[in-house]
Amino acid sequence: AQRDIAASKARHAAPPDPLPRLGEGISLEPFQWAGVNYLLDKRRAFLADEQGLGKTVQALAALEVDDAYPAIVVCPASLKLNWEREAVRWLPHRRTVVLQGRGVAQPTGEITVLNYELVAAHKDSLARLRPRALVLDESHYCKNPQAKRTQAVRRLAQAVPPDGLRMALSGTPVLNHPEELIPQLRILGRLEDFGSGAKFARQFQGDSAEERLHWHLRRRCFVRRLKKDVLPQLPAKRQVVVPMELSNQREYRLAEEDVIAWLREQPLDLRELAERIAATLRTERLVQLGVLKRLAAKGKLVTALSWIHDFLQSGEPLVVFAHHQEVQAAVMERFPDAAHLLGRDSGPARDATVAAFQEPDGPQLLIAATRVAAQGITLTRASNVAFLELEWTPAMHDQAEDRCHRIGQHDAVTAWYLLAANTIDETMATLIQRKRGIVAAVTDGQRVDGDGLVEGVVRELRDGRPLRHLRPVAASGRP
């Protein structure tokens, strides 16, 4: 038992030999290889690492080491594009298919990704895949045994052979009470380890139930590490892109076509023009590009709000930065208990909000206007920040991240960039990343020229080659 418990907390493991085929230039950390080893040893287990420790990449590596294909990944709708992005990055030689609708076409990928709501509609075609592995991301979505999605996922799990892989990923598999684990354990095929659902419910009640349950889970099928446990292996600060689906796809594409047509009528190189004319054109371009930025922000709101909701289930504090007032208002409407630092707030009110947020029992969510909260304040109670929108002055993102990444912060900081897939968001982010790399290589600096960013986006749009990398795939498996 002690060896099993130690394995469930393991922070170090060497890569397997031979090394599995992964994307060029990327590798797992020692604690992540330890997680992969645990999943492969137990075959049917929870991966419950704290948010930001790379549960997705550990699951993908486990699939590759075990050659567990075809594999089915079931996740919240807000995370489908992220799974596609990570699969393409880590396993570029594997075909990944993302199911977008309720069509009955047969999936053809080695990795098939779909959201929980679609499992019932695709149950027959998924079973015909004869999957070797099933990955449930945010497995607490199956906490209610009466829910249709839980029942559909349970039937799907039965299509995985006894020697296949079943992995339940969630930093918070229990949200309210221990019984929420029963349907998840049943899907994993682990409930018999506890006798039955009724026996589980009787055994884990009372004052010490949580402590006893934790011990029994770690003995059998539960690996979890916290950021503080593996801090030496983590970068002090890192940026993670989370692609978001657009709900207004047609509206955005029409606007994009109009902007491209307008740009092609304008002089490309403003440096060749008189200063006054150049300034006027730059302002006009900002207006035109601002339309696309606003539509991208509007279109990803549904998915972004769902992502924030799921993140908050972890119990960790989160700072959300946004630019447009309507975006800030939408977040506040969805999360009325959140604190806020906005342009309309007075100086004393902002000071009071910061002080309240920094308290151990302060608000879990803080909504901040990027230009208001990017400088001069300390928000080190949070080690996670999320950006709903990008600024034309990229250094502002670094400044905003550093509200949490400063003296007094004892955790690694993760900045989550919620970007609308296949939009100006991705074009801007790619150019910012490219320019940051150039600047860092030369001076180890962080500033990126805002005007240069505008011109770069204009050039990409005008030349008809927007920098896009995340392409949703239809249910048929065709791009």
Whose tokens are 């007075």? That residue is: 346
pLDDT of residue 272: 60
pLDDT of residue 105: 66
Cis? peptide before 183, omega within 30° of 0: no
- pLDDT tens digit sequence for 378-421: 888 999 999 999 887 777 888 888 888 876 777 888 999 999 98
**Cβ proximity of 241 and 415 under 8 Å:** no
- Tell the burial category of 307 from Cβ atoms under 10 Å away from its Cβ (0-12, 13-18, 19+): buried
CATH number given to 2-233: 3.40.50.10810
Q: Where is pLDDT greater, at 14 or 282?
A: 14
Question: What percent of the chain is predicted at pLDDT more than 70?
Answer: 87
Q: Nearest 10 degrees: CA dihedral of 357, 363, 367, 371?
A: 0
Mean pLDDT of the chain: 84
Distances (CA, A) of 384 to 175, 219, 330, 401, 415: 20, 31, 20, 9, 6
Q: Same fold for the domain at 2-233 and the one at 237-248+297-462?
A: yes
What confidence tier does 443 reach under pLDDT thresholds 50, 70, 90? very low
331-345: average pLDDT: 93
State the Cα–Cα distance between residues 168 and 44, nearest whole angstrom.
8
Is residue 133 classed as helix, strand or coil in its secondary structure? strand
Whether residue 442 is predicted with pLDDT greater than 70 in this model: the reply is no
Alpha carbons 479 and 268: distance in angstroms, whole number: 32
Which pLDDT does position 296 carry in this prediction?
A: 94
Handedness of CA 213, 214, 215, 220 (dihedral sign): positive
CATH classification for the domain delimited by 237-248+297-462, as one of 3.30.700.30, 3.40.50.300, 3.20.20.210, 3.10.150.10 = 3.40.50.300
Mean pLDDT across 363-367: 95
Is residue 323 within 8 Å of residue 371, measured between CB atoms?
yes
Residues 68-90 have pLDDT tens digits of 999 999 999 888 988 998 999 99
Q: With beta carbons less than 8 A apart as the criterion, state whether 126 and 113 touch.
A: no
Query: Average of pLDDT values for 197-207?
Result: 77
Adjacency order of strands within the sheet including 44-47: 96-98, 111-115, 71-75, 133-137, 165-169, 44-47, 222-223
Count of all residues that appear for the chain in the document: 479
Render pLDDT for 208-224 as a digit per residue (tens, 0 to 9). Answer: 777 778 888 888 899 99
CA distances from 151 to 46, 71, 120, 143, 416 (A): 19, 19, 9, 11, 32
Q: What is the mean pLDDT of residues 338-349?
A: 90
Q: What residue ranges do the domains of the chain occupy?
A: 2-233, 237-248+297-462
Question: 264: pLDDT confidence band, cut at 50, 70 and 90?
Answer: confident
